[in-house]
């Protein structure tokens, strides 16, 4: 969770289109043509969702309601065979649209079961359907693809996406790795339900999000069918594969737990995983009902990954987690998974909240009080990395997972709690989770909610703790 900060160069692609048309038609006529519905040529969907940190993540012009992913992975050769069927809706009259996909070879694309033209352009898979799609049109995109998936290297030097391990793959896509294993509208603004049909060599287990609907072995291969029915951001999808011990149980609240644990991590993981039901029950008391019907953990042995991810319903850990990490990834199910970002700049809404959950857990389970944790951090000198940038404005994708986002983000919440008192503070957290459940939330919406629930003016506090450069004064 404290990744290194090596900057990597990102190749930018610029898409300039319709020049030829505009150049040959007088401007006024072109404007008229653009406005005339029956003959309108339709426009290309944008190659990105408009996020300044990751300009090419996500795409414009359509929304994906459902992904149906059928993947076969050979753990020995690391070859992936994939078919993705996306159910989508055009949000504009659409002549052409992009999906995010990097590496891999695309073998066929159809739109509404009719072959469509496609080309690759960096991380964009550019699809031109045979006919322009009317605005509001519900359509189906099918993509056949194959190859050896490779992770992406993030601006902070960490890797994400499909990360091969010695017995399978650790699959975690924050912030941009979904495109390494399936064609997607890969920005958290677009949330969708998912089906995963994963075929792996017999003896290996493939674990995705949500519920396991079936598992069948034939001819030396096992196929796992998983379904996540609740809206999910693409970066929270997983299809982690390995040699796993599986434990299933149901909590007193009726949440179905499926844990998959690499045997090399089993003895250290066991005492922590035993606490998952009580951690979820404790968090449900604090944050409101657990947002999903399933839960669990994927404890892999992936020594070169260096982090865990809150993959929806079932976080994936690179090694046996400690209790604080389990609490952290579980808290993300409310903050980050159910309530999603609309822009990566708002990452403190995920990491500050999950970190503050760790502090609260310690406070209520015989550890340090949140105040003590706050004070110890506040004692850091002004030149410390903690104060390197404000959590509400990390400045670029390379700062997403740095200490200011996690620790100073949690400090901001602790200051809020101090200003409004415990009753209103926990009402704010619960209202946030309830009002934005299965949806999205922005920092501005959070600060407005905090003022509404507490009846206090809090702009000074948020300005200081979220947006002011350097070490804040606590006067």
Contacts with ligand ARG by CB under 6 A lie at 1, 3, 154, 156, 158, 160, 174, 307-310, 351, 354, 401
Q: Minimal CB distance to Zn ion: which residue?
A: 354
DSSP 3-state of 75? coil
Strands of 124-128's sheet in order across: 43-44, 94-100, 124-128, 117-121
Residues 225 and 216: their CA atoms lie apart, in Å, by 9
Question: Which CB atom, from 201 or from 395, has the smaller least distance to ligand ARG?
Answer: 395
3 binds, among Zn ion, ligand ARG, none (CB under 5 to 8 A by kind): ligand ARG
Q: Are 150 and 162 in contact (CB under 8 A)?
A: yes
356 binds, among ligand ARG, Zn ion, none (CB under 5 to 8 A by kind): none
Q: How far is the CB of 157 from ligand ARG (least distance, A)?
A: 9
Q: How far is the CB of 306 from ligand ARG (least distance, A)?
A: 7
Question: Which CB atom, from 145 or from 307, has the smaller least distance to ligand ARG?
Answer: 307
Query: Cβ neighbours of residue 338 under 8 Å, at least 6 residues apart?
Result: 230, 291, 292, 433, 436, 437, 438, 439
Strands of 62-74's sheet in order across: 114-115, 105-111, 138-147, 79-90, 62-74, 191-201, 221-233, 211-218
Q: Are 71 and 81 in contact (CB under 8 A)?
A: yes
Q: How far is the CB of 356 from ligand ARG (least distance, A)?
A: 13
Using rule CB under 5 A, residue 354 touches Zn ion: yes
Q: Where are the beta strands (DSSP E) in 75-204?
A: 79-90, 94-100, 105-111, 114-115, 117-121, 124-128, 138-147, 152-153, 159-165, 168-172, 191-201
Taking CB under 5 A as the criterion, which residues in 369-428 touch Zn ion?
A: none
Using rule CB under 5 A, residue 339 touches Zn ion: no
Question: Which CB atom, from 167 or from 283, has the smaller least distance to Zn ion?
Answer: 283
Question: Which CB atom, from 47 or from 175, has the smaller least distance to ligand ARG?
Answer: 175
Question: Which CB atom, from 190 or from 351, has the smaller least distance to Zn ion?
Answer: 351
Q: Minimal CB distance to ligand ARG: which residue?
A: 158
Using rule CB under 5 A, residue 302 touches Zn ion: no
Question: Which CB atom, from 125 or from 354, has the smaller least distance to ligand ARG?
Answer: 354
Question: Which CB atom, from 346 or from 351, has the smaller least distance to ligand ARG?
Answer: 351
Query: Looking at 160-168, 216-224, 236-244, 344-352, which segment touches Zn ion (CB under 5 A)?
Result: 344-352
List b or e across 92-131, with b for residues whose CB sees 16 or more CB atoms inside 10 angstroms.
bbbbbbbbbbbbbebeebbbeeeebebeeeebbbbbbbee
Q: How far is the CB of 355 from ligand ARG (least distance, A)?
A: 8
Sites of contact with Zn ion (CB under 5 A)? 351, 354
């Amino acid at each position: 969770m404290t990744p290194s900060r090596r900057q990597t160069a990102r190749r930018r692609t610029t898409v300039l289109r319709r020049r030829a048309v505009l150049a040959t038609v007088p401007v006024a006529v072109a404007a008229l043509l653009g406005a005339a519905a029956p003959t309108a040529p339709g426009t290309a969907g944008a190659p990105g969702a408009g996020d300044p940190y990751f300009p090419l993540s996500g795409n414009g012009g359509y929304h994906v309601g459902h992904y149906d992913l059928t993947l076969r992975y050979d753990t020995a050769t690391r070859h992936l065979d994939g078919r993705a069927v996306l159910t989508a809706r055009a949000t504009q009259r659409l002549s052409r649209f992009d999906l995010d996909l990097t590496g891999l070879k695309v073998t066929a694309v159809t739109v509404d079961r009719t072959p469509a033209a496609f080309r690759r352009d960096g991380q964009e898979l550019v699809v031109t359907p045979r006919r322009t799609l009317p605005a509001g049109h519900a359509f189906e995109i099918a993509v056949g693809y194959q190859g050896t998936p490779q992770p992406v290297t993030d601006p902070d030097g960490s890797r994400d996406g499909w990360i091969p391990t010695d017995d399978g793959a650790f699959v975690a896509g924050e912030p941009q790795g979904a495109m390494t294993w399936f064609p997607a509208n890969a920005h958290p603004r677009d949330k969708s339900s998912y089906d995963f049909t994963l075929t792996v060599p017999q003896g290996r287990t493939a674990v995705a999000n949500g519920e396991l609907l079936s598992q069948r072995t034939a001819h030396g291969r096992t196929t796992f069918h998983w379904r996540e029915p609740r809206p999910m951001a693409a970066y929270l999808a997983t299809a982690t594969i390995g040699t796993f011990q599986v434990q299933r149980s149901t909590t007193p609240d009726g949440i179905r737990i499926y844990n998959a644990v690499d045997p090399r991590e089993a003895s250290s993981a066991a005492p922590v995983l035993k606490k998952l039901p009580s951690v979820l029950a404790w968090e449900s008391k604090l944050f409101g009902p657990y947002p999903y019907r399933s839960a669990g953990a994927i404890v892999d042995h992936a020594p070169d990954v260096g982090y865990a991810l809150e993959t929806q319903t079932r976080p994936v850990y690179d090694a046996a987690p400690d209790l604080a990490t389990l609490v952290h990834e579980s808290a993300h199910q409310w903050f980050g998974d159910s309530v999603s970002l609309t822009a990566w700049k708002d990452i403190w809404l995920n990491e500050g909240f999950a970190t503050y959950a760790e502090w609260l857990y310690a406070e209520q389970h015989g550890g340090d009080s949140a105040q003590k944790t706050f004070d110890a951090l506040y004692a850091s000198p002004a030149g410390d990395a903690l104060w390197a940038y404000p959590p509400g404005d990390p400045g670029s994708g390379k700062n997403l997972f740095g200490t200011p986002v996690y620790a100073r983000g949690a400090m901001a919440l602790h200051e809020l709690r101090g200003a409004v008192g415990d009753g209103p503070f926990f009402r704010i957290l619960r209202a946030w989770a309830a009002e934005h459940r299965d949806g999205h939330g922005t920092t501005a919406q959070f600060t407005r909610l905090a003022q509404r629930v507490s009846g206090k003016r809090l702009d000074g506090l948020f300005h200081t703790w979220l947006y002011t450069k350097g070490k804040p004064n606590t006067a």
